[in-house]
Each structure stands twice: as C-alpha cells, then as structure tokens.
Chain A
Amino acid sequence: MVGGISIRELPRKKYLLPGNPSCPGCPEALGLRYLGMALGDRVILVVPAGCSTVIEGLAPNYSMRFPIVNVPFASADAVASGVAAAKEVLGEDAVVVVWAGDGATADIGFATLSGAAERGDNIIHICVDNEAYMNTGIQRSSLTPYGAWTTTTWTGKKERKKDVPLIMLMHKVPYVATASVGYPMDFIEKLRRAVLIKGFKYIHLHAPCPTGWRFDPSLTVEVAKLAVETGMWILFEAVNGKVKISPPSLPYRDRSRRKPIRDYIKIQGRFRTLTDEELKKLESMVDDVWDTLTKFT
C-alpha cells in the first residue's frame, strides 16, 4: 500500500505496448504507463510534436492503446478544447488529455496552454518535463535548469528554469499539481483526483531523461527521486488555489533535511561544466523556488 491506492489494485492492461521505439529507461514511457493505470479507457490523448510522437511507432500501427490525435507543435490545448467541446455537445464520456513536452507547454505552445486554462476548458494538460528539446536532439528550453549543458548551451544554460506550475496557479484554474516519474503512486492519485474536477487541470510531470541528461538508463527512477530529495523538484498539489506540499516532498520543507544538490548534479553528465560558484547560485535558486511556493501554502 502506497498512499491511498494499492499497487495490486492497479489495472494491468497495457496502454504502452512492448516493442515501442522509446530510448531505454525513457521517463515518458513510464509516464504513459501511469496515465493508463490511472485513467484507462476514458482517455483521448492529444499529442503535439515531441518524443511521444516517435514513441507511438510507425504507421499503420502504433504502440499505445489510447486513441491519439497527433497535432502540430503549438496547437495541442486548442485541439483538446475542440475535442472536449465536441464530446460535451454529443454527451459522450471522455477524459481529454494533452500529453506535451516542455516545448509544447512552456515555449511554442504556451499561448495555447494559457488560452485553454483561462477559458477553463475541460481538459487535463500534462507537461512531461524532460528539461530540454529531446526529440530534436537535446536543445535548451525555458524549462532547462540553470547550468545544464545542452547542444545549444555548450557551457551550461545561463538562465533559470521558468516556473510553469506557479504560472498556471496564477491562472486560477481548479487544479494544479506537480508529479514525478519517480513517484508513480503520487502521480496516479493526482490524475484520479484531477479527473473528478470539471475545468482545466494542469499536472507538471518531472521526467529525467537518460539520453539528454547523460546518465545511465538504469537510473531514471533514482535521478527522479534525487530531484525530490534534494529539493530540486517539489511535489505539490493545489485544489482551487490552495497549495499543499505532497507527502514525498514534505520532509524537504526543512532545508536541513534535503540531500546536497551536489549529489543530484554529479550523477548526470549535463552539469559537468558547473563550477562551485555556479552550484551556489543554483542552490540559492532552489531556496527561492521553495520560498515562493510555500507562500501559497
């Protein structure tokens, strides 16, 4: 028993099928499995350009059991709004889920995301955040953290990570949460709570990528957990604007209980150019994110 759901009660039906072309240790593959376990056959998935486009595999077949609307990069939330509108008109049950990366969420797709949120359209947007444009070959995004190497930031990114969950919170949507592929039961529970709420729901799923972050594929879950244990990633949930730190992150409100950020940095190749001075800066940014978030609790 983890949280409110027992692992043995989770559906065994495979929504992500074996033989798909994801990289070994892929966090998006994990996320898709958990989405299936949480919401199953009710889902209609809207997928903008990204790694998941490739993970579907080649036509005339695909490696998933969700109905999927593939759509251009900057259109996902708007398409989802249309799907939801049609299903409302037809009186059909459907959980319309946007499955978008950091680009389709925070950058090229940001206006569309904000528009759908402001209108309160009845969809769930999941940002699968692997912190760079992985599908095109590891280029920096606005969600790449400070100091991280990418193929467009060879000496490390000079800017900080955009705080999209808080931006979505300021849209006053009824549900905002963060999650991590390292904490599947927490993610599944959040999905099951989100689906009960009518309106716009936003879930930001932290998704450590072995290919892009330069770590061994066996460590995907370990790196995801370290992000939480060092305070680099904070799990929270906000229903109607009221922020509650989620159980896995609760101990780390206390700064002294967090593992050193250096532990998280050193098992990934992408921070190899980070100097001690830059590490200090990164640490102060993490403190700042905690301070800002806890003001809303």
Chain B
Amino acid sequence: MSEISHILPLSKPKEGISRTGTWRLKKPVIDHSKCVKCMMCWLHCPESTIDVVESSDKFVEVNYDFCKGCGVCANVCPVKAISMVPEG
C-alpha cells in the first residue's frame, strides 16, 4: 500500500512570518557606550528581536526587520542607554 498524502491542518515553525518591522512608529536606538551588558532588554523584549552577541562590541543588537517598536526595552534599561527615535 502506497502512502497516501492528505491535506492536513499542520504547520511548521518559521521565523518572520510577517515583516513586523514595518509596524514600527519609533525605533529603539542603543547607545552602546552606556550599555552595562545587564541583558534586561534581551530578557524583556516581547518579540525575541533583541539578540545577545557576546563576540560583538555591541553585545546586544536589535533585529529591525521584526522589531515592532513597542519600547519595553527602553523602559526597562536601568541606565537609559536605549532611546526611542521616531521613524522616517
């Protein structure tokens, strides 16, 4: 008996289903000179769009393709190293 393929209601994980970076009204800009590498922005980002890159001088980087600009990162940063800058 050959395996029959059915049309099933199944889905697979995919990063970037929507280009949510276009939703953004304000953009988080990190002043890396002020950053104390506490990782609070990474921890509290609701979108998984802040990445910790230990090898980089920047240490934390924002993925602007998908960051929605909610501003939680700027709000939780203990040293106010993140500012929200209006887009365009």
Contacts and interface: CB of A to CB of B under 8 A. Distances in A.
B43 interface: yes
Contacts of B18: 19-21, 57
Nearest to B44: A221
A29 interface: yes
A7 B39 contact: yes
Interface centre among A10, A18, A25 (most CB of B within 10 A): A18
Given A218-B72, A218-B84, A62 B20 contact: no
B76 A18 contact: no
Nearest to A25: B70
Contacts of A222: 75
A16 B13 CA distance: 10
Interface residues of B, number: 37
Contacts of B84: 218
A58 B46 contact: no
B66 A19 contact: yes
A18 B47 contact: yes
B12 interface: yes
B14 interface: yes
Contact of B49 (A18, A58, A59, A65): A18
Contacts of B44: 30, 184, 221
A10 B38 CA distance: 13
B4 interface: no
Contacts of A57: 14, 17-18
Contacts of A165: none
B12 A24 contact: no
Contacts of B48: 14, 16-18, 33
A17 B26 CA distance: 21
B86 interface: no
B36 to A, nearest CB: 12
Contact of A61 (B9, B11, B47, B71): B11
A217 B72 contact: yes
Given A25-B71, A216-B71, A63 B13 contact: yes
Interface in B48-80: 48-49, 52, 63, 65-72, 74-76
B87 interface: no
A26 interface: yes
A220 B72 contact: yes
B13 A64 contact: yes
A263 B9 CA distance: 47
A219 interface: yes
A295 interface: no
4 shortest interchain CB distances as A-B pairs: A218-B71, A18-B66, A24-B70, A61-B14
29 contacts: A7-B39, A7-B40, A8-B39, A10-B43, A14-B15, A16-B48, A17-B15, A18-B20, A18-B47, A19-B15, A19-B65, A25-B72, A33-B46, A57-B14, A59-B10, A59-B11, A60-B12, A61-B12, A61-B17, A63-B14, A65-B13, A210-B70, A216-B71, A217-B70, A217-B71, A218-B72, A218-B74, A220-B46, A221-B75
Given A17-B13, A19-B66, A218-B70, 5 more contacts: A19-B20, A22-B46, A56-B11, A60-B11, A222-B75
